[in-house]
Amino acid sequence: MKKRLICLAILLCMLIALFASCGATNSDNPKETAKDSDKTGESQSGSNPGDETETGEETSFIADDVPTIDMNGFVFTVLHSNRGLLIIPDIDEFTGDIVQDAIYEAASYVKERFNINYERIAAGNDNEMATKVEASVLSSGTANEFSVSIGHDFLTVSNAMKGCYANLSNIETFNFSKPWWPANNLNSLSVGNKLYVASSYLSYSPIQGAAVEVFNKDYMKDLGIEEPYQKAFDKAWYMEDLIELAEAGYSDLDSNGTIDIDAGEKYGFVMGREGGYGTQRSMDVVPVLKDQDDVPYYGLDVERAYNFLDNLAMLFDYGKFFLEDNTSQNAAFGANAALFVHAGLSVVYKTLREYKDITYGFMPVPMLDELQEDFIAGATDMVWGIPQTSLEHVREISYIIEALSCQCYNYVVPAFYDMTMCKKLAESPNDKEVLDIVRDHTALSFAYFYTKALGGASIAMADLPRQTTAGELSSYVAKNSGTLQDNITILIEQYEQLDLLG
C-alpha cells in the first residue's frame, strides 16, 4: 500500500496535462457551418498524385470544392516551431522516404494548380514561436508576414485567446464536413461554435499524436500469456486487464523494489512523462463538458476521477513513470526489459521501429471500466491558425489550405498510416485492426488545450496531498471547482469578444 501511495504521489505531480478533456458533442458546431451547396466553381482539376495505384487500379479520392485559379506566384508562408509537422515540404526532390515523398508530391501538385510558391519560417522552439506570433500580429501588426502558423498545442490556443487569429468558422471556403477536418478535434477546440485554431490534415500530426499500448510479443509468449487482441475487438479491454498483464510481466528478482535491467529484471509497464497527456481523456474522466450550444461548463465525476488515479497507481506498482525525459521508457522497451510501453504512434514510427530484435504488437489505451462504452484514443496535436493580419489574402490562403488538406488526407495520411504503420510496422492483421480502432477513436482534450485560460484549477491534481483518499479528493475538488467554473466563465466572455471577421 505504501508503494502505491508513493506511485500515486508521483503520478499526481506529473498529471499536469491529464486533468483535461473535451465534453459532449454538440449538434451546432463549426464543422457544420460550411455546406457543400455553398461552394462555387469547379472541383479540383488536372491529374492528382496517386490517382492510380502501382497496379493501375483507381483509388478512392475525395475531392475538395475549391475552384482552380491562377494566384500569380502568391507566396504561401508557414511560420512553425522546430517541431511542426507540415504538409509543406523541406525537400525539393524525391528521397525514397514514403511519407516525405508523399508530402513533396502533394504539395507540388497544389503549387502547380494555383501557381504559387511556398516559404517556411522556422521560429525556433515552442515558446519562441508563441512570442513571434504575438509580436508579429499584436505588437507590430505586420501585414501578411505569414499566411498560417502551426505550433505547440496550448501555446497556440493561448495566442488565439489574445486575438492573434481569425475565426476559421467564418471562412466560407472551409468545408468542415470533409474528412480532413476531424469533427472530434474541432469540437475539442471550439467555444460557442467559434474556431480560432484547428487540428486538421493541413498536417499529418493528428493521427501521429494518438497513443497506443505497445507490447513485447516474445516476452508475452515466454510468460505463457495469450495475446489480448480479442478483448479489444470485443470492447472488453479495461485498466484491470492491463494491470493484470503488467503484474505478470514485472520481474523484480531480488525483491528490492527496483528494476535492474542489467540483471535481467523487467518492468511490466513503462510510460514517459509526456505519455500521460491523453490518458485521462482516453479513460473519459472529464472535468469540462459542453452544452448543446458548444459552451463549456464544469462537470467532473469525482468518484470516477479517484478510480482513475487509483488504477494508475496500481499500474505503476508493476512499472515505472519515467520522469527525467521522454526517451527512457522507449529505451527500456528496446532493451527487452518491459512487457508494455505507452507510446504515441509518432514514437512507434520514429523510435520503436528501430528495435529490430523485438516483435511487438499494439493494443488500444484501455477503457477505465465497464461504465465506459467505447475506446477513446486520447491525443495531442500541433495546431494552426490564420493571423488576423493576413486577412487581406484570406481567399488565397483558404483555397490553399483546403487543397493541401485534401491532398494530405488522400495521400500523405495513407502513406504514413496504411503504407508505413499498417503494412510495415503492424506485425499481424490483429495489429492492423487495433490501429484502425485507434485511428477511428482519436480525440483531443479541451481542458488541456485551454489550460492557460482555465488556470491551475484545470490541472489541480498536481497539488493534491501525497496520501490521497477518495474523501480527500472530493474535498479538494469541492474547494477548487468554483475557481475552475469562474475561469470557464472568463474564457466564454473572452470568446464573445474575439469574432475578428465581424
Question: What is the spatial distance between Cα 260 and Cα 224, in angstroms, rounded to a whole number?
Answer: 23
- Give the position of cell 481542458: 447
Domain that holds residue 391: 38-206+381-424
Mean pLDDT across 473-488: 80
Residues 51 and 157 in one domain: yes
**Which of the residue ranges 59-68, 78-87, 247-256, 467-476 has the most confident prediction, judged by mean pLDDT?**
247-256
Residues 364 and 490 in one domain: yes
Percent of the chain whose predicted confidence (pLDDT) is above 70 = 80
Window from 57-66, 80-89, 440-449 with minimum mean pLDDT: 80-89
**Measured over all CA atoms, what is the biggest interatomic distance in the chain, rounded to whole angstroms?**
72
Mean pLDDT across 195-223: 91
Cα→Cα distances 262→220, 252, 273, 352, Å? 20, 12, 23, 20
Any domain includes 26: no
Question: What is the spatial distance between Cα 394 and Cα 212, in angstroms, rounded to a whole number?
Answer: 38
Any domain includes 192: yes
Any domain includes 170: yes
Residues 221 and 106 in one domain: no
- pLDDT-derived band at 56, boundaries 50, 70, 90: very low
Residue 473 pLDDT > 80, yes or no? no
Residues 353 and 405 in one domain: no
Residues 301 and 361 in one domain: yes
Nearest Cα residue to 149 out of 161, 163, 164? 164
Any domain includes 30: no
Residues 402 and 464 in one domain: no
Residues 184 and 279 in one domain: no
Phi and psi angles of residue 363, each rounded to the nearest 5 degrees, phi first = -135, 150
Mean pLDDT across 125-147: 90
Q: What's the structural domain count of the chain? A: 2
Residue 40 pLDDT > 60, yes or no? no
Mean pLDDT of the chain: 82
Residues 239 and 329 in one domain: yes
Amino acid residing at 389: T
pTM here is 0.82
Residues 313 and 462 in one domain: yes
Question: What is the spatial distance between Cα 498 and Cα 400, in angstroms, rounded to a whole number?
Answer: 24
Residues sharing a CB contact under 8 Å with residue 436, sequence separation 6 or more, in sequence order: none
Residues 217 and 361 in one domain: yes
Residue 84: the pLDDT is 55
Cα angle: 109, vertex 114, 116; to 5 degrees: 90
Residue 275: the pLDDT is 64
Any domain includes 44: yes
Mean pLDDT across 254-267: 93
Residue 145 pLDDT > 80, yes or no? yes
Residues 177 and 236 in one domain: no
Question: What is the spatial distance between Cα 330 and Cα 428, in angstroms, rounded to a whole number?
Answer: 21
Nearest Cα residue to 76 out of 450, 324, 395, 498? 395
Residues 147 and 83 in one domain: yes
Q: Please give the full DSSP string across 321-366, using - where no structure is assigned.
A: EE-S-SSHHHHHHHTT-EEEEEEEHHHHHHTGGG-TT--EEEEEPP
Residue 17 pLDDT > 60, yes or no? no
Residue 209: the pLDDT is 83
Any domain includes 299: yes
Residue 467 pLDDT > 70, yes or no? no
Residue 11: the pLDDT is 41
Any domain includes 419: yes
**Which of the residue ranges 207-216, 222-231, 490-499 has the most confident prediction, judged by mean pLDDT?**
222-231
Q: Please give the full DSSP string across 203-268, using - where no structure is assigned.
A: SSHHHHTBEEEEEEHHHHHHTT---THHHHHTT--BHHHHHHHHHHH-B-TT-SS---GGGT-BEE
8 A C-beta contact, residue 285 and residue 278: no
Any domain includes 66: yes
Mean pLDDT across 30-59: 41
Question: What is the spatial distance between Cα 414 and Cα 104, in angstroms, rounded to a whole number?
Answer: 14
Q: Please give the full DSSP string across 291-308, using - where no structure is assigned.
A: -TTS-EEE---HHHHHHH
Mean pLDDT across 383-410: 95
Residue 165: the pLDDT is 95
Given the DSSP bridges, would you call strands 319-322 and 267-272 parallel, antiparallel or unpaired? Answer: parallel
CATH number of the domain where residue 142 is located: 3.40.190.10
